[in-house]
Amino acid sequence: SQKIEQNSEALNIQEGKTATLTCNYTNYSPAYLQWYRQDPGRGPVFLLLIRENEKEKRKERLKVTFDTTLKQSLFHITASQPADSATYLCARGGGTASKLTFGTGTRLQVTL
């Protein structure tokens, strides 16, 4: 089966630092990886999509990388703020009907 793993359940960092979250996948490379933000009791919100043939994608303070050799995607938040505190989900896609398989998420806590 195609697994997606986010090994860090939680990450605590200080405001202003860069948060780096890791997502690993098994077996063949997915056509794309997506990153979502989920706040408690809410549905996920789409952040970024990176395709297999892209090495890096940026959006404002967010950056995501896709390393097919390491079978890994890294998600960076630069100049982190307390408002960035949330759970971040990685998802692999590219199969039939745009189905996504989600990781368990990393809960990020940014403190003052």
Which spans of this chain sit near another protein (rule: CB under 8 A)?
32, 34, 36, 41-46, 49, 89, 93-94, 97-105
- Which of 3, 17 has the CB closer to another protein? 3
The tokens describing 50, both together, are 């990176």
Residue identified by tokens 């490379």 is: 29
Is residue 13 a contact partner of residue 108, using CB atoms and an 8 Å limit?
yes
| Shortest Cβ 3–another protein spacing (Å) | 11
Q: In sequence order, what are the beta bridge partners of 91?
A: 34, 102
| Shortest Cβ 47–another protein spacing (Å) | 10
- Which of 69, 96 has the CB closer to another protein? 96
- Which of 97, 112 has the CB closer to another protein? 97
**Rounded distance between C-alpha atoms, residue 63 and residue 45, angstroms:** 16
- Which of 34, 80 has the CB closer to another protein? 34
- With H, G, I as helix, E, B as strand and everything else as coil, classify residue 84: helix
Distances in whole angstroms, Cα of residue 99 to Cα of each of 2, 16, 26, 32, 110: 12, 35, 17, 11, 31
| Shortest Cβ 18–another protein spacing (Å) | 25
| Shortest Cβ 1–another protein spacing (Å) | 10
